[in-house]
């Protein structure tokens, strides 16, 4: 690592992305932050810089839009910073039946979760390999391990991130570059309300700050698959070891109840 080390964080204006910005800033990383909300993004950047004395840059971008994504990639490469960390965190949820849903919104989700992660990773990983150090942190989900009825595209995107991360980690063996896939469960952010998911218990799940602290610590350690929280690890264990249709059946029942109360 160099004194001028930089971390790129997508979806950094709120939730886990915002919390991760503060974690990396506290560790002395300069930050290049991106999200759609320029005002909120600039506030996060200013607070990180003031509190931790690091450099920050803000590039507003809508990762669901391919042109906006391509401009972001071009801007990142043009700056030529020594990017030590890339955090592919941006995302949103869609809750409901695929057959009656908005297919363009689903395509936008694929762009944010998959296409953006691919293009940004491809943009920065060659320089990481050349330096012999780097971290790619892909924020996935416990849903990476199981199909999720009524959140089918979201879960499929997270499953892609898990598979992609594991494949890339093996390809990068011996280069000094590590790929971390972070798989949280329910987290207390705006994510679930924006996805139209009703919650009976408002304070259920881990806070964004607690999740970000674990993700940051394990990223620096280079641990490959990180599932924070005992109940989340139980979910993953059952998803991996029970008959294929068992866990999706339970999730389908839960999500149907949520849809009725949305």
Q: Which residues are catalytic?
A: 154
CB atoms within 10 A of CB 92: 18
The residues, any chain, with a CB within 8 Å of residue 176's CB and separated by 6 or more, are 128, 129, 131, 132, 133, 134
d(CA 97, CA 192): 16
| DSSP for residue 113 | I
* Neighbouring C-alpha atoms within 13 Å toward the C-beta of 146: 27
Handedness of CA 31, 43, 93, 218 (dihedral sign): positive
d(CA 228, CA 8): 22
DSSP secondary structure string for all residues of 2-21: -TT-EEEEESTTSHHHHHHH
User: Residue 100 and residue 86: Cα distance in Å, rounded?
Assistant: 35
How far is residue 122's CA from residue 126's CA, in Å, rounded to a whole number?
7
Provide the CA 202 distance to its chain's centre, in angstroms: 22
């Amino acid at each position: 690592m160099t004194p001028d080390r930089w971390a790129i964080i997508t979806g950094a204006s709120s939730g886990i992305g915002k919390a991760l910005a503060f974690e990396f800033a506290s560790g002395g990383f300069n930050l290049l932050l991106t999200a759609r909300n320029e005002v909120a993004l600039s506030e996060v950047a200013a607070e990180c810089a003031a509190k931790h004395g690091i450099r920050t840059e803000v590039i507003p971008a809508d990762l669901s839009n391919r042109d906006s994504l391509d401009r972001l990639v071009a801007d990142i490469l043009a700056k030529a910073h020594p990017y030590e960390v890339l955090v592919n965190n941006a995302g949103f949820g869609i809750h409901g039946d695929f057959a009656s849903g908005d297919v363009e919104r689903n395509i936008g989700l694929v762009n944010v979760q998959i296409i953006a992660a691919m293009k940004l990773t491809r943009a920065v990983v060659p320089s990481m390999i050349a330096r012999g150090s780097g971290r790619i942190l892909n924020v996935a989900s416990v849903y990476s391990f199981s199909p999720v009825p009524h959140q089918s595209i979201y879960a499929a995107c997270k499953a892609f991130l898990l598979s992609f991360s594991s494949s890339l980690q093996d390809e990068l063996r011996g280069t000094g570059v590590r790929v971390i896939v972070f798989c949280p469960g329910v987290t207390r952010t705006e994510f679930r309300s924006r996805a139209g998911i009703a919650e009976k218990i408002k304070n259920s799940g881990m806070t964004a700050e607690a999740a970000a602290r674990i993700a940051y610590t394990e990223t620096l350690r280079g641990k490959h698959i990180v599932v924070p929280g005992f109940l989340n690890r139980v979910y993953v264990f059952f998803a991996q070891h029970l008959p294929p249709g068992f866990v999706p059946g339970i999730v389908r029942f839960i999500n149907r109840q949520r849809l009725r109360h949305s």
